[in-house]
């Protein structure tokens, strides 16, 4: 059986109940989570490819001050503006 979800919490819960296995980045394993004591973790011997991440927000939205402050701090590391996947 194959289950597809975008919820990391659902994946951790399914694994904790014995419904399967998964590959998660260390920061998503969260041993302090409700399932943490029911998960067994093994480090992979070979590193996986890097994962590129980006920031996205609704075009034209009024951004909260906290987000504006965050963007000010990370702006030097941001690339150019891109259209969202599937947009025209």
Instruction: Give a three-class secondary structure readout of the chain.
Output: CCCCCCCHHHHHHHHHCCCCCCCCCHHHHCCCCCCHHHCCCCCCCCCCCCCCCCCCCCCCCCCCHHHHHHHHHHHHHCCCCCCCCCCC
Max avg pLDDT among 2-6, 15-19, 21-25: 15-19
Confidence at 80, pLDDT banded by 50, 70, 90? low
Look at the alpha carbons of 22, 28, 29, 32 in this order and tell me if their dihedral is positive or negative: negative
Q: What is the pLDDT of residue 88?
A: 47
pLDDT of 61 over the 60 cut: yes
Confidence at 46, pLDDT banded by 50, 70, 90? confident
User: Can you tell me the mean pLDDT for 57-75?
Assistant: 84
Q: What is the largest CA-CA distance in the chain?
A: 46
């Amino acid at each position: 059986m194959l289950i597809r979800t975008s919820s990391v919490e659902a994946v951790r819960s399914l694994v904790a109940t014995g419904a399967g296995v998964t590959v998660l980045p260390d920061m998503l394993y969260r041993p302090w989570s409700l399932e943490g004591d029911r998960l067994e973790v093994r480090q992979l011997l070979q590193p996986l490819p890097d994962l590129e991440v980006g920031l996205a927000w609704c075009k034209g939205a009024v951004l909260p001050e906290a987000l504006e402050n965050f963007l000010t701090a990370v702006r030097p590391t941001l690339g150019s503006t891109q259209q969202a996947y599937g947009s025209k």
